[in-house]
Chains A and B, each alone.
Chain A
Amino acid sequence: MFKSVNSIARLSLLSLAVLTTQISFAQSTQGSAKFPGIGRNATPAEVMAWDIDVRPDFKGLPKGSGSVEQGQAIWESKCASCHGVFGESNEIFTPIAGGTTTEDVKTGRVASLADRKQPQRTTLMKVPTVSTLWDYIYRAMPWNAPRSLTPDNTYALVAYILSLGEIVPDDFVLSDANIAEVQKKMPNRNGMTRNHGFWSVNGKPDVNGSSCMNNCVKFVQIGSTLPDFARNAHGNIAEQNRQYGPYRGSDSTKPPIAKLPGSSGEGLAHAADTHSSNAKGPAALFKNENCSACHAPNAKLVGPSIADIAAKYQGQSGALDKLMAKVKNGGSGVWGSIPMPPQAQLSDADRKALVEWVLSGGK
C-alpha cells in the first residue's frame, strides 16, 4: 500500500543501489584482511535505505515537518481503527494517550504512576523521549502496512499524539528543527532509571533468597490459588499432557476427582473423552492464514468481526461469490478506510470454506 510517489522514489533508489553495488563490489574485497572474499562494503544508498533508526539525540532523523491538523487526518484514516480517534482505545493494544497532566509536563514525572490514579499505563505516561514515537511510527506503522508512511506523515502523526496529551497546542507544527525542544516537555522524561543490576551480567541483584534448609517457616500460608471458575479457562488440561506415564493431565472440564485414580487411571480423562489432534477446518485455516490478525469473532479489530460480517450479509443472495472475490482480490471502503489485502495464496476450496464459515458466523 505504498503511495505511488513513494514507489517511484523507491524504484529509482533501487536502480541507483544496483549500479553502485556493482561499482563497490569490485573494491569490496579490500575491506577484509582476515577473511578475504567474505562480505563487501555497503554502498551509501544501501546504508541510507536501511539505517532509519532515530536516537534520543535525533541522530538519524530526516528533515521534514507536519502539523497536528494534518496528523489528525492521517490518524483517522490509518490509526484510529486500532487506537481510537483520541488514542484512547484499549481494544487491541494499550491506549496511546491519557493519564498525564500539565503538571507532569512541568516535572517530567507522571504522578499517577506512583499512586495508581490511572487503571492503565498509556504510551504517553511511559515514553520519556519523543524520538521513540517518531522511530517506531516511521518503521512499523500502520500495523498491517509498515513502512508506508513518509517522514512528513510521521511528523504530523507524532504532533497529533503529542496534542492529545496536551504536550503541544492544537495548532502546532512539529519539525526536525523544534523536536528537541518538544522532547524537553515529555511528561515522563525523568521517569526512567537504569540504576539497577539488570543491565549487565556483572550487575548487583536487588534481592536474594534464603539458604535455610530446615524448619524455615513457622507455618505455610497459601496466599493465592487459581479460582474455581478459571479451572477450564485454558481448555481441557488433560489434552495438554501425555495420556500415559506417571503424570497425567487432570480433566479440567470436570470438577476434581474424589480419590486417587490408581494405576489403571480410573476416572481420568482418556481417549474417549478427549480429542486433541491437529485441528483442521475453516477455524484453523482462518488462524493459519493470518485472517485472525485483523478479524476477531465478536470484536472489531483492524477489520470487522466475523459476527458483523455474518449479520451484514445474512440472507443476501450472491454473498458467497461476492466475498470470495473480495478475499481473493482485496477490497476497501465497506468497513472503513483500512483496505483488505488480497489473499491470492488461498486455493478456491479453502477460500470457499473460509467464506462459508464466516457467513455462518464462525460456527
Chain B
Amino acid sequence: MTKKQIELSAEDISAVEKPANRARLVKAPEHFISQELIADINANGLDEKRRGFLRKGFMSAVGGAAAGLAAPLAFAAGEGDPAILEKQEWQTTLGKNVATMPYGVPSIYEANLIRRESPGLTRVSAASVAFTPLQGLFGTITPNGLHFERHHQGWYNLNPETHRLMVNGMVKNARVFTMNDLMRLPSVSRTHFIECGANTGLEWGNVAVPTVQYTHGMLSCCEFTGVPLKVLLEECGADLKKGKFLLAEGGDGSGMTRTINLESCLDDTIVAWSMNGEMLRPENGFPLRLVVPGVQGVSWVKWLRRLEVGDMPWNTKDEAVHYIELMPDGMHRQYASIQECKSVITTPSGGQQLLDKGFYNVSGMAWSGRGKIRRVDVSFDGGNNWRQARLETPVLTKSITRFNIDWVWDGSPAILQSRAVDDTGYIQPSIKVLRDLRGNRSIYHNNAIQSWKLDSNGEVSNVQVG
C-alpha cells in the first residue's frame, strides 16, 4: 500500500459524493482504507508510519475536514474510534440557518428511500404504479412523499378554488360544495391503511420481484382528515333505504368511477382533504379523495368530484374488466373489495444484507380490512415453529400495526415468515392454501404469508414455501 494508493482511493470517493450544493456536511467516507492496510495493521501493529497513513486517509477523504467514519474500522487498543476522537465538522463550525428549507426535505443520506416503479410492469407511466419503500420505514405512518402512487390516466395539480364536489342521484337535493364549504364542516381524523387490490399480485404464480418494496409496496397508512361521508349524504337528504350503493367519480382524465357498497362502509368512510396533517399531495388526490377503510385502494377515488346515490352497482370499466379475480372454473369474482388480514416482515426483507451474526430486531407490519390485529406470529424456520411477536401501539382498526420480535442469528440459513390474526379470528393463510382454492390466475387479493430466505452469507431473498 503506497501513499499514492491511499490518496487515489480518497479521490474516488469524493468524486462520487457531491452533496455540497445541498448541505455543507460531507458524507463520511467508507472503505477509504484498503484491505491490505487493514491486514497490515492487524498483522504488524500500528506504528507511527501506519498511523500516519490512517490519519492522512481520513483527512484527504473528506477534502481536508475531519469527519466521522460510517462504520468502525480497525483501530489500535488504547486509541479509539476516530468518530469519537476526532472533532467533527458539525461540532466545530456554524450550521445552517433556521428555515433554510422552509418545507423540509429528508437528510441527504436518505436519498435511496424513494417511490419506485417496477420495470416492465406497465408500458405507459401515466397509468402505472410507484411502490412505497417499506424496507426503510418505521412505525405505522407512511411519509406523504413516499405514499404509493397508482393512476389510471395521469395526475394533475387540481386548483382547489375551482374544485367542486357534487352529490346527486337518490337525494332530496342534488348539491354542490366548494372546498371552502367542505372544510367548514365537522371533521374527523382517523388513521387507516390503504392497499391496492393488486398488492402482491405479481406473486400469485411464482416469485417475481426481489424486494418488499415491489411485493408489498402498494400499501400505505396515514392519518386522514375530512368530513364523514354520512354527514354529507344526510345533508343532501339521501335515500339510504333504497339507495344501497354509491358511485364515486374522480376529476382526472379517466373520470375514475367506482361503486361503493354503502351497507359496509357508510359508518367510517371519509371525504378527506388531509393526509398526515397537511393537505393531500396531488399524486394522492389533492384536494379531495374518498377514504374507504378496509376496502381496496381503487375505491378511494382521488380528485373526488361527484358522489351519486343509486340502487344498483354501476359495473364500471374497473369493476368489469379489471379488479376482478379469475377463479379456476372460469368465473370472475366481481366487487371483491375487502382487503383481508395480512402481514409482512420488512426488516430484514428481500434484497437486504445482514452484516454479521448476533442480535437483531426483526420488524414488520400487519393489517386487516375487517378490523384490528389481534396477534402476529413469526417463524424463522419456514413455518415449522412459530413465536408470538410484540404488537406496538397504537393497534387501530383497519390500520397498520407494527410488530417486533427479538432474534439472535447464529449464522445458519433461515426462512423468515410472519402470520397475522385479526379480531374476527381470521388467520393469514399460506400461498398454497390460497392457490388450492383460487388457482394462480388471479391478480388481486393475495394476502399470503411471505417468506424471506436468509443465506449464511447474510443475504436475504424472496422465496415461496410449498
Interface, chain A (partner B; CB < 8 A): 28, 31-32, 34-35, 37-42, 46-47, 50-53, 55-57, 91-93, 109-111, 113-115, 121, 123, 126-129, 131-132, 135-136, 139-140, 143, 146-147, 188, 191-194, 196-203, 205-217, 220-226, 230-231, 233-235, 237, 239-244, 246-250, 252, 256-266, 268, 270-272, 275-278, 287, 290, 292-294, 296, 299, 301
**Once the chains are docked, how many angstroms separate the CA of A196 from the CA of B329?**
14
Interface pair A240/B326, CB less than 8 Å apart: no
Q: Does more than half of chain A's interface fall in helix, strand or loop, or is it mixed?
A: loop
Within the assembled complex, what's the spacing in Å between the Cα atoms of A137 and B332?
22
B contacts with A: majority SS: loop
- How far is A226 from B463 in the complex, measured between Cα atoms in Å? 7
Asked if B395 is at the interface of the complex by the 8 Å CB criterion, the answer is no
Q: Is there contact, CB below 8 Å, between B386 and A214?
A: yes
Interface: B324 (CB within 8 A): yes
Q: Are A263 and B255 in contact (CB under 8 A)?
A: no
Q: Could you say which residues of chain B place their CB within 8 Å of the CB of A191?
A: 330-332
B264 at the interface (CB under 8 A from A): yes
Closest CB-CB distance, B309 to chain A, in whole Å? 12
Distance between Cα atoms of A131 and B411 in the complex (Å): 60
CB distance B464 to A243 under 8 Å? no
Residue from the set A123, A203, A220, A278 with the largest chain B CB neighbour count within 10 Å: A220
Please state if B207 and A226 are interface contacts (CB–CB under 8 Å): yes
The CA-CA distance from A140 to B256 in the complex, in Å, is: 9
Mark the stretch among B188-196, B279-287, B430-438 that contacts chain A: B430-438
Q: A39-B177, A51-B306, A224-B206 given as contacts; is B72 within 8 A of A216 (CB)?
A: no
**What are 18 A-to-B residue pairs whose CB atoms are below 8 Å?**
A42-B174, A57-B312, A126-B320, A127-B320, A132-B315, A132-B319, A135-B316, A192-B334, A201-B369, A205-B340, A207-B434, A222-B463, A224-B207, A226-B208, A240-B211, A243-B109, A256-B459, A263-B72
Assess whether B320 is in contact with A129, with CB atoms less than 8 Å apart.
Answer: yes
Interface centre among B30, B214, B263, B347 (most CB of A within 10 A): B30
Q: Which residues of A contact B118 (CB under 8 A)?
A: 234
Contacts A42-B176, A214-B386 known; A132 to B316 CB distance under 8 Å? yes
- Interface residue ranges of B348-404 to A (CB < 8 Å): 348-357, 360, 369-371, 377, 381-386
Residues of A within 8 A of B428 (CB): 209
B314 proximal to A (CB < 8 A): yes
A38–B317 touching, CB < 8 Å = no
Say yes or no: A114 contacts B329, CB within 8 Å. yes
B466 lies within 8 A of A221 (CB): yes
* 6 cross-chain pairs, A with B, having the tightest CB-CB distances, nearest first: A114-B330, A220-B382, A209-B427, A113-B330, A198-B336, A237-B351
Partner of A225, one of B207, B265, B336, B433: B207
The minimal Cβ–Cβ distance linking A326 to chain B, given in whole angstroms, is 21
Contacting pair A292 B124 (CB below 8 A) = yes
Q: Which residues of B contact A35 (CB under 8 A)?
A: 184-185, 235
Separation of A114 and B175 alpha carbons in the complex (Å): 46
- Contacts A193-B333, A260-B357 given; indicate if A38 touches B315 (C-beta within 8 A): no
Q: Give the residues in chain B near A110, CB-CB below 8 Å.
A: 330
Contact of A46 among B71, B176, B377 (CB under 8 A): B176
Chain A CB within 8 A of B429 CB: yes
Query: B200-220: which have CB < 8 Å to A?
Result: 206-211, 213-214
Q: Which of B154, B169, B254 interacts with A293 by CB under 8 Å? A: B154
Q: Is B166 close to A, CB under 8 A?
A: yes
Segment among B10-18, B49-57, B86-94 that sits at the interface with chain A? B10-18
Contact of A234 among B209, B263, B385 (CB under 8 A): B209
Contacting A193 at CB < 8 Å: which of B332, B352, B445? B332
Q: A37-B184, A243-B112, A296-B123 are in contact. List 13 more A-B contacts (CB 8 A).
A: A42-B166, A126-B321, A128-B320, A132-B321, A146-B253, A198-B336, A200-B338, A222-B453, A222-B465, A224-B206, A234-B116, A239-B112, A266-B35
CB distance from B463 to the nearest CB of A (A): 5
User: B332 and A31: CB pair below 8 A?
Assistant: no
Distance from A48 Cβ to chain B, minimum over Cβ atoms (Å): 10
The answer to whether B305 touches A261, judged by C-beta atoms less than 8 angstroms apart, is no
Q: Interface residue count for B (Cβ, 8 Å)?
A: 144
Interface residue from A56, A129, A209 paired with B449 (Cβ < 8 Å): A209
* Complexed CA–CA distance, A92 and B465 (Å): 34
Whether the Cβ atoms of B174 and A47 lie closer than 8 Å is: yes
What residues of chain B lie closer than 8 Å to A196, measured between beta carbons?
A: 333, 336
**Distance (whole angstroms) from the CB of B128 to the closest CB of chain A:** 10
**Are B123 and A301 in touch, CB under 8 angstroms?**
yes
Q: In the docked arrangement, what's the CA distance between A92 and B123, Å?
A: 6
CA distance A246 to B135 in the complex (A): 12
* B427–A210 CB distance below 8 A: yes
Of A50, A115, A247, which is within 8 A of B353 by CB?
Answer: A247
- B465–A223 CB distance below 8 A: yes
Taking a contact as CB atoms under 8 Å apart, the answer to whether B123 and A31 are in contact is no
Shortest beta-carbon distance, A307 to chain B, in Å?
15
Chain A residues near B433: list those with CB within 8 A. 207, 209
Interface string of B238-257 (1 = CB under 8 A from A): 00000000010100011101
Q: A residues within 8 A CB of B135?
A: 240-241, 247
Interface centre among B208, B321, B430 (most CB of A within 10 A): B321
Name which residue of chain B comes closest to A244, CB basis.
B70
**Contact residues in B for A231 (Cβ distance below 8 Å):** 210
B24 / chain A contacts, CB cutoff of 8 Å: none
Out of A111, A278, A290, which one reaches B111, CB within 8 Å?
A278
Query: Which residues, 410 to 466 on B, are CB-close (under 8 Å) to A?
Result: 411, 415, 419, 421, 426-430, 433-434, 437-438, 445, 449, 451, 453, 455-466
The answer to whether the Cβ of B80 comes within 8 Å of any Cβ in the partner chain is: no
Chain B residues near A53 (CB, 8 Å)? 247, 249, 257, 308, 314, 316
Residues of A within 8 A of B16 (CB): 271-272, 275
Task: Give bound CA distance, A296 to B126, whole Å.
Answer: 12
Q: Are A240 and B351 in contact (CB under 8 A)?
A: yes
Alpha-carbon separation in the docked complex, A359 to B33 (Å): 44
Inter-chain contacts of B351 with A (CB < 8 A): 237, 240-241, 249-250, 252
- Inter-chain CA distance A265–B32, complex, in Å, is 13
**Chain A residues within 8 Å of B466, by CB:** 221, 223
A268 to B71, alpha carbons, bound, how many Å? 12
- Taking the closest CB of chain B, its distance from the CB of A229, in whole angstroms, is 12
- Assess whether B5 is interfacial by the CB under 8 Å rule: no
- Kindly state the separation between the CA atoms of A140 and B353 in the bound complex, as whole angstroms: 45
Contact A265 B352, beta carbon cutoff 8 Å: no
Whether B353 contacts A261 by the Cβ 8 Å rule is yes
Instruction: Take A42-B176, A51-B308, A223-B464 as given contacts and tell me if A136 and B247 are in contact as well, using a CB distance cutoff of 8 Å.
Output: no
B-side contacts of A233, CB under 8 Å:
119-120, 210
CB-based contact A205/B411 at 8 Å: no
> Within 8 Å CB of A261, what residues of B?
353, 355-356, 458
How far is it, in angstroms, between the C-alpha of A263 and the C-alpha of B81 when the chains are bound?
Answer: 14
Q: What CA separation (Å) do A224 and B435 show in the bound complex?
A: 14
Query: Which one, B112, B116, B247, B381, contacts A242 given CB within 8 A?
Result: B112
